[in-house]
Structure 1
Amino acid sequence: MSEPLTLGLLALASFSAAAISASVSVGGGYVLFGATTLLYPLPVAVALQPVLSYSSLVARSIAFRQGIAWPIVGPFTLGSLAGVALGLVVYHAIPERVMALGVGSLMLVLTWWRLPLPHVHSRAGMAGVGMAHALSGTVLGMGSILQPVLLNAAIDRRALVGTFAACLLALEAIRAVGYGLTGFSYWPLAAAVAVSTMAGFAGTWAGKRLMGYIPERAFRLIVSGLITALAVRLLVKAVLPGIDSFLPSS
């Protein structure tokens, strides 16, 4: 795939993901990560996720700043430090096929099964959530804990969007620095980061204005179907690596 086409598809994915996250609260990150796995090798897609999503997180944190629940954000960030440190060790140790199996499985679980987590909104509980979310995010590209915890937090939709973005701001910065310090180079992908950043800001602007106008149930079904297709692709490549030549290449 040519670089201009790759950058164009990445811009479309970044814009769509940011708009989804700003308008329907969750799902955008899965769309962006799933699309990135189509454009780059999986270990690269995992390391790129924090920098590609950062512009959208900044924009959402600013746009929904009045609703941010800071007592959740602080302990979550502290727990993230330990989670990233452990996750980096695992990330550099596991083969790509194992990573593909883990990512594909996690995408399906997060899409179709809401984790039955109890209320864990004490400071200690949120630190534990931060550690677990950061660990899975660093190894597999996506966290799996924070979303269901916030859905159980009895906060409104705008507060959910703002708090989720604020929690991930520090985490994604820590992840990106960690990948860089342990050998991953972002410089050859500077154009991709720049394109995604601009598209992310534009998508957040559009998504905030769409909030309340989109039938959430129907939209989430469409997003879930797309994520499922991307997850199945990863699982097939993990279990049947010889089929790579028949599937879209990373």
Structure 2
Amino acid sequence: MGRKSAKIAAKKGAADKQRGQVFTRALKDVYKAAKSGGTDPASNFLLKVALERCKKFNVPKDNIERALKKASGPDGVGFEDINYEGYGPNGVAVFVEASTDNVTRTVANVRSYFNKCGGSLGVNGALEFLFDRKAYFIVPIEGLDEDEFTLEMIDAGAEEVEKDEEFFEVTGPVDVFGTIQDKLQSLDITPEEATLERFPTSYKDADEETRAQVEKLIGLLEDDDDVVTVYHNLEEEE
């Protein structure tokens, strides 16, 4: 089916080849979920999803505990969420979500990554029109009837339910996130992923050289400890 999502970090396959990248992504999801909804997975559905992913990838318990402590304890005090928007080579839009205890450090780092890769950091709000924010869920298909599940999701407010060999992809308006989440819980379904995602409204094609530079930029951003998620509108290769 091919994901329309702009979040490169979530791609199955290439981005998951390196063990460290898998750990980093899973732990950032734990931190993000715990920071927004608390550290109890019984009452924080997103944290439950993130911890399930950590378990799947055998992320060490110590790493998970550190992520939870950073989100809730004294280490998390002073952290703030901040977005950065800019353009990579050939006008490819790049939207960065970060959480930092030192904005000066983070903006300097993010700006340097853009500069190194032939891009430029822009003014916040400049790219809002290029991305639609939506509720987004990935649900394993095992044990689910496609027609029944699709009807349940549409009843909960989903706009689209797509299926490939392994997963359903469910998308809908931001304001139905909680409704879909509640519906999945009532059906005793734990999704592979549950998030508010930014989807490009249009895509930019690029030659191989430009594509390599954009992918280098995304890699530098994702390797930064302060960066939580990177979105872009680079057209996927066939």
Task: Answer with 1 or 2: which has the greater Rg.
Answer: 2
TM-score, with structure 1 as normaliser? 0.24
Q: TM-score, normalization: structure 2?
A: 0.25
Q: Which has the higher strand share?
A: 2
Higher helix share: 1
Indicate the structure whose relative CO is greater, using CA pairs within 8 Å and at least 6 residues apart: 1
